[in-house]
């Protein structure tokens, strides 16, 4: 966490310990902090404070959107005499597990259908035309991440929203359910401009620890309960306008608000710094290993990518990403998504779906630079990789 965020969490723990629903001064202080954090998140996204609902994290926010879309589909069918069967959801083949697994579970239970649109090996993106081609009469939701967590490729969400909006006008005339649009912006916030008006989405997922905040999240909904449906998964004390009940975690919410304030003020400087250091990292890798031995897995012609992400493979036998990292002494990195780190040497499904050959994908490493990463840090990390590869090659020599 950023130091300012840690301080905000601590201050809230000490000074705003009251229940936000209570009318006494300690409760009022907590309620005031929550309102301020909600405003900060809205400012960061170009939305309104009433469009922000706090959640335990991105997984809950994503599940809430899927749950809502299915309820919305059934509500839209009631009394029409024009049943479209069960809800259908379109997403990409490279989404986070908190999108993929709920959809697979609903499919197993016969409660919903899902289409996972493959990304193009040319662009690394889920192409808008391919997503639209997957839409069926019973489609009620399209969910496309704003930027991929392994390749860093930025997806064409704004264009998709525009095209779905036009399609919805035609569907309304046919009595078909409205298609809602969601983007998981976990990877993008704090590393580039995120504006819900430009994106045109109905829902956007926010994850605090991805921009130096605490490990909680939030969901943006365009006018929840009026212009855009939102159905709770939990029922209780009525907090968060009953969309997400449960006594609020005031210190973590205060920290999330402070993290959003830092992004509001500094995102352009953060982005420029991370891009400079990431580009230096890529140049240093090529200089140290040779251009023939380094394959960048996130370079797609014509596609933009996050400023901080470098996904690459060191080519050669026995240099699987996990083995290389095991021989590193100072480098802290992942072979792919950190939440999938128990998958052994199996190549990343995301890289395979982007057209990366299996023998290259199994050697993949994902290095991410941050706000505080320096060129000196890069030099140490690359030197560590060099010694790890040399050690592995010595061990393999006959």
Which residue is it, tokens 């996990």?
322
Gyration radius from the chain CA atoms: 22
| Paired residues of 184 in beta bridges | 205
63: exposed, middle or buried (Cβ count in 10 Å: 0-12, 13-18, 19+): middle
* Euclidean distance between CA atoms 205 and 58, whole angstroms: 6
DSSP string covering 112-169, please?
-EEEEEPPPTTTSS--HHHHHHT--TTEEEEE--SB-TTT-BBP-HHHHHHHHHHHHH
Would you state the structure tokens that stand for residue 240, as one six-digit string? 């968060």
Annotated catalytic residue, options 14, 70, 339, 354: 339
**Side-chain half-sphere exposure of 381, counting CA atoms within 13 A:** 23
Q: What is the CB neighbour count within 10 angstroms for residue 325?
A: 18
Give the helix/strand (H/E) hosting 219.
strand 217-221
Question: In Å, how far are 9, 30, 191 from 4, measured between CA atoms?
Answer: 9, 18, 18
Instruction: State whether residue 188 is helix, strand or coil.
Output: coil
Q: What is the CB neighbour count within 10 angstroms for residue 12?
A: 24
* Euclidean distance between CA atoms 259 and 37, whole angstroms: 9
Closest CA to 308 of 145, 152, 96: 152
Active site residue 339: yes
CA dihedral 304, 309, 313, 319 (to 10 degrees): -170
395: exposed, middle or buried (Cβ count in 10 Å: 0-12, 13-18, 19+): exposed
Interior/surface letters 223-253, b for 16+ CB within 10 angstroms, e for the rest? ebeeebbbbbeeeeeebbeebbbeebbbbbb
Give the helix/strand (H/E) hosting 55.
strand 52-55
Q: Is 260 left (phi over 0), alpha (psi -120 to 50) or beta?
A: alpha
- Residues acting as catalytic residues: 339
């Amino acid at each position: 966490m950023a130091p300012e965020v840690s301080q905000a969490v601590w201050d809230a723990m000490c000074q705003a310990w009251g229940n936000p629903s209570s009318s006494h001064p300690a409760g009022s202080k907590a309620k005031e902090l929550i309102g301020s954090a909600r405003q900060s998140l809205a400012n960061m996204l170009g939305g309104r404070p009433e469009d922000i609902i706090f959640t335990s994290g991105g997984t809950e926010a994503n599940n809430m959107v899927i749950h809502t879309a299915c309820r919305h589909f059934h509500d839209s069918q009631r009394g029409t005499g024009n049943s479209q069967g069960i809800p259908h959801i379109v997403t990409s083949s490279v989404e986070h597990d908190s999108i993929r697994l709920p959809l697979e579970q609903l499919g197993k239970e016969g409660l919903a259908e899902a289409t996972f649109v493959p990304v193009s090996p040319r662009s690394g993106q889920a192409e808008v035309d391919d997503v639209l081609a997957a839409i069926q009469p019973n489609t009620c939701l399209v969910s496309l991440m704003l930027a991929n967590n392994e390749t860093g490729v930025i997806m064409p969400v704004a264009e998709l929203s525009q095209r779905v909006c036009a399609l919805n006008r035609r569907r309304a005339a046919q009595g078909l359910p409205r298609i809602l649009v969601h983007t998981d912006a976990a990877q993008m916030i704090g590393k580039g401009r995120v504006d819900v008006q430009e994106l045109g989405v109905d829902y956007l997922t926010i994850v605090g620890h991805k921009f130096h905040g605490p490990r909680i999240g939030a969901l943006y909904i365009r006018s929840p309960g009026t212009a855009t449906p939102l159905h709770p998964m939990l029922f209780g004390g009525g907090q968060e306008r009953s969309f997400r009940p449960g006594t609020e975690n005031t210190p973590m919410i205060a920290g999330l608000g402070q993290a959003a304030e830092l992004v509001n003020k500094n995102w352009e400087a953060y982005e420029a710094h991370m891009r400079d250091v990431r580009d230096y990292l890529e140049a240093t890798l090529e200089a140290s290993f040779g251009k023939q031995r380094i394959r960048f897995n996130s370079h797609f012609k014509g596609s933009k990518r996050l400023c901080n992400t470098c996904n690459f493979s060191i080519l050669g036998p026995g240099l699987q990403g996990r083995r290389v990292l095991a021989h590193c002494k100072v480098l802290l990195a992942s072979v792919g998504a950190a939440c999938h780190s128990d998958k052994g040497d199996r190549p990343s499904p995301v890289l395979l779906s982007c057209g990366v050959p299996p023998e290259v994908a199994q050697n993949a490493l994902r290095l991410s630079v941050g706000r505080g990463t320096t060129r000196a840090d890069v030099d140490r990390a690359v030197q560590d990789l060099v010694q790890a590869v040399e050690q592995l090659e010595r061990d393999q020599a006959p």
